[in-house]
Amino acid sequence: MLHSKLGEGRKIRACHDCRRRKVKCDYRKPTCFRCEKAGILCKGYTRDAVFLNRTAGNLTTALKRTSLKSPPPRSIDEDLQALKEQVLQPVGQRTQFRLQALEILKKLYLPQPSIANIRESSLYSWLPTVCELEGESNALDHSLLTFCVVQAAVTQTGGACVNEALQVYNTTLQKMLVEIEDFGAERSDEILAAISVLSTSELFLCPTDHTWRAHAQGVSEILRIKSCMNSPSPLCQRFCARLRVLLLIEALTKRQTRVMTIYYCHQLSKVMSTSSEHDSFHDLIDVACEVPVHLEELDRLTSSRNTLADDEKEIIFKPSLALLDRLHDRHQRYRAQIGRPLYWVMPSGVDNPADDSYQSKLFPFALQFDTLETASQVVLWWAITLQVLCSMIDLHQHFFGSATTSPASDLSISENSTGPGLLLNSRFPTISSVKEEADKLARCICQSIEYCHKIENGTIGPQMTCYAQWVLESYFRRFNYEREIAWCLNIKNMRGPGFRHGIELMGFQD
């Protein structure tokens, strides 16, 4: 088969502009005199070579080949298989492997269609940052592989299943243990990144939080060691967001915290304050880091058998009210910063099996948010506030009421015995108002589930409700709201257009 450059048989010597104007060219180089005389910027004589198949009778086939489209994109199964083959290759430059894992996670985990903006939001930016790390780390590579397989399994995309995800996960745990035992300062970023990825995978894979809490302790220990090192690298600063959330949620669900955990949360905040990544989300985390210590103190009071003196009754709720005010003020600043409604009400489009035996839905209306970033902040704020309010109710009933569970009407009766002005506050004048606000926030969290589970929000949408769902279930059990409990337990079975069903999230131990 012969090939030649088009024009080799009869070379056309004239410059581009003389040919275009169909005038005789004087062939002067680098530009011709005729173009200069005409006041034209001569484009010269260079031409792109075009290759043609010179085999007789084959011109049509050649033209068809040139018009073929690029190969179709690979399926998720093909992407995962390529990833599995790469992770077994000798350790070398790992960035390409990690970036390919990121491409899979963009399709399954991250929201659509805002993929181009993932670096602009601290809610997502930790993931591409992790995938750009260049250091050798089998733990990080296997954690990314686990994350991809888990996401393919829970979204039922391709042939990946939960059993396969568990097998890959168990292998990754072994890699993690080996690497932590051989921990060194130069590899700390990769280990922290691996923990960030693997702990996120566990939210979708593990029924309980046993290993997840161990990861939080590991992060605290590594940060303790790193405090003796030089200042964190820029890459480490950019996935501080995920580390802070991991430490905070562990402390909130445990209702107590190791002193150093909160210390390192504040240290990470100082790191973030020098970075463009420190946005309104981190402002919320800054205030929320005060909550676990406060909850621990409230639990200490409710577990005591001491009685309160009259002067103590006047101040016992002041720390809680002050903390709620700080959370509220932060939320108001966020609303002013956004400058538009954060959410609005619309008819619910999904069905919860818990409603089947009733004539109407428990929550006939759902909340629609302007963005997933907004939903993440509002839902987290609601859940943290609800946890504080519920602890205040427990504290009130411990010292002033006899019932362990009471609706708002019973609370209004018991509060009369505490004397006037006990909870005087512009937002919460009585304990009944605390209970009313708690009921309102619990309802709002339930109404946000539909938006967070939209398929277009990836699986990070449901993930954002993991802590909130735990708070909901604890609150509804506390007050024996049986229908609400059944509704929460059936979130994974909800169905509706565009709703991501079948997502079962990790449960936190009470």
The mean per-residue pLDDT over the stretch 327-337 comes to 93
Return the pLDDT at 13.
73
The residue type of 188 is S
Which residue's entry shows tokens 């104007």? 21
**Per-residue pLDDT tens for 345-385?**
999 999 999 999 999 999 999 999 998 999 999 999 999 99
Taking the C-alpha atoms of residue 34 and residue 48, their distance in angstroms, rounded to an integer, is 23
CA dihedral 302, 307, 311, 316 (to 10 degrees): 0
pTM of the model: 0.80
Return the pLDDT at 63.
41
Collapse the DSSP code of 150 into the 3-class scheme (helix H, G, I; strand E, B; otherwise coil) and give the result: helix
Which of 248, 252, 280 is CA-nearest to residue 264?
248
Return the pLDDT at 367.
98
Collapse the DSSP code of 419 into the 3-class scheme (helix H, G, I; strand E, B; otherwise coil) and give the result: coil
Greater model confidence, 78 or 39: 78
Is 140:97 a contact under the CB 8 Å cutoff?
Answer: no
Residue 255: in which H helix or E strand, if any? none
Return the pLDDT at 273.
53
The string over 149-186, giving b where at least 16 C-beta atoms fall within 10 Å of a residue's C-beta and e elsewhere, is bbbbbbbebbebeeeebbebbeebeebbeebbeeeeee
Return the pLDDT at 62.
44
Confidence of residue 33 (pLDDT cuts 50, 70, 90): confident
Return the pLDDT at 54.
41
Is 478:436 a contact under the CB 8 Å cutoff?
Answer: no
Return the pLDDT at 262.
55
The mean per-residue pLDDT over the stretch 339-350 comes to 95
299 class by beta-carbon count within 10 Å (0-12 exposed, 13-18 middle, 19+ buried): middle
Greater model confidence, 121 or 100: 100
Is 180:224 a contact under the CB 8 Å cutoff?
Answer: no
**Per-residue pLDDT tens for 308-322?**
776 777 788 999 999
Using the predicted structure, report yes or no on whether residue 284 has a pLDDT greater than 80.
Answer: yes
Listed ranges 160-164, 350-354, 411-415; the one with the highest mean pLDDT: 350-354
Confidence of residue 133 (pLDDT cuts 50, 70, 90): confident
Return the pLDDT at 183.
65
The mean per-residue pLDDT over the stretch 107-120 comes to 75
Q: What angle do CA 446, 239, 149 make, to 5 degrees?
A: 65
**Per-residue pLDDT tens for 34-43?**
777 776 777 7
How many residues does this entry show for the chain? 510
**Per-residue pLDDT tens for 181-216?**
776 645 678 888 999 999 999 999 999 999 998 888
Which residue's entry shows tokens 């051989």? 182
Using the predicted structure, report yes or no on whether residue 407 has a pLDDT greater than 60.
Answer: no
Which of 206, 284, 214, 295 is CA-nearest to residue 252?
295
Return the pLDDT at 311.
72
Return the pLDDT at 135.
84
Greater model confidence, 274 or 148: 148
CA dihedral sign, ordered 323, 324, 329, 334 = positive
Listed ranges 11-15, 72-76, 268-272; the one with the highest mean pLDDT: 72-76
Tokens of 499: 């709703």
Taking the C-alpha atoms of residue 510 and residue 503, their distance in angstroms, rounded to an integer, is 21
The mean per-residue pLDDT over the stretch 380-403 comes to 89
Return the pLDDT at 45.
72
Which CATH homologous superfamily contains domain 3-66? Answer: Zn(2)-C6 fungal-type DNA-binding domain (4.10.240.10)
Return the pLDDT at 419.
47
Measured CA to CA in angstroms, residue 446 lies from 366, 484, 493 at distances of 8, 9, 14
Return the pLDDT at 271.
56
Return the pLDDT at 155.
95
Return the pLDDT at 48.
45
Domain boundaries for CATH 4.10.240.10 within the chain: 3-66
Helix 466-478, helix 482-489: angle, nearest 10? 160
Taking the C-alpha atoms of residue 431 and residue 443, their distance in angstroms, rounded to an integer, is 19
Using the predicted structure, report yes or no on whether residue 297 has a pLDDT greater than 60.
Answer: yes
